[in-house]
Structure 1
Amino acid sequence: MAISKYTSINNTIGQHFFVKKIQRNFCKITNHSSLRPDIILSDENREKCIKNLKIFRSLSESTENTKKAAVLVPLCLHNNELGLLYTLRSTKLNTNRGQVSFPGGIRDIEDKSFEDTALRETWEELKIPKDKVIIWSSATLIGRKHVNVMPILGYIGHVNPEHLKVNPQEVEEAFVVSLKNLCDPKQCSFTQFRNNYTLPTYLGGKYRIWGLTALITHIIMKALVPNVYRHELPFLQPIEQLVKITENNKPLT
Structure 2
Amino acid sequence: MDKNKCISIIRSAVQNGSHPGPPDDGLFQSTSVIALFVFNKEIELVFIQKADVKGYPWANQMAFPGGHKDKKDLSTKDTALRELTEEMGINRENVEVLGSLGHFQTINSKDIEAWIGIWNQKEAINYDRSEISRVFQIPLKYLIDLHKEKEFHRQAPNVMHLTYPYEDVLIWGVTAKILYHLIDVLLKGG
TM-score per shorter chain, which class? 0.7 to 0.9
CA contact (8 A) 1:127 1:165 kept: yes
Could you tell me whether the CA contact under 8 Å between 1:69 and 1:106 is conserved in 2? yes
Which has the higher Rg, Structure 1 or Structure 2?
A: 1
TM-score normalised by L of structure 1: 0.65
The gaps in structure 1 that reach 5 residues or longer are 1-32, 229-253
Which of 58, 78, 82 is matched with 1:116 structurally?
78
TM-score, normalising length: structure 2: 0.84
Report whether the alignment pairs 1:132 with 2:94. Answer: yes
> Are residues 1:154 and 2:120 paired?
no
Compared CA separation, residues 114 and 141, structure 1 to 2 (3 A): same
CA deviations 1:11-42 (Å, max 9, x no partner) are: xxxxxxxxxxxxxxxxxxxxxx5xx5332113
1:48-104 Cα distance to aligned partner (Å, 9 max, x none): 43111xx1233x5334252100001111123x1111100000012612100100000
Alignment of 1:76-95 (within 5 A): 76-78=38-40, 80-92=41-53, 94-95=56-57
Q: Which has the higher contact order (CA 8 A, sep 6+)?
A: 2
Q: What SS class does the counterpart of residue 169 from structure 1 fall into? A: coil
Structure ranking higher in strand proportion: 2
Size of the aligned set, in residue pairs, is 183
Q: Does 1:40 align with 2:27?
A: no
Partners of 1:153 and 1:215 lie apart in 2 by 14
Instruction: String of CA shifts for 1:178-211, please: whole Å, max 9, x gaps.
Output: 11101114885499xxxx9345211245522111
Q: What residue number does 2:164 align with?
A: 202
* Alignment correspondent of 1:214: 176
Kindly indicate which of the two structures has a greater share of residues assigned to helix. Answer: 1
2: distance between equivalents of 1:186 and 1:40?
19
Code of the residue aligned with 1:152 in structure 2: it is W
Of 47, 50, 75, which residue of structure 1 is paired with 2:15? 50
Counting aligned pairs with the same residue, the percent is 22
Seen in structure 2, the aligned counterparts of structure 1 residues 129 and 159 have a Cα distance that, compared at 3 Å, is closer
Question: Is 1:176 the counterpart of 2:137 in the alignment?
Answer: yes
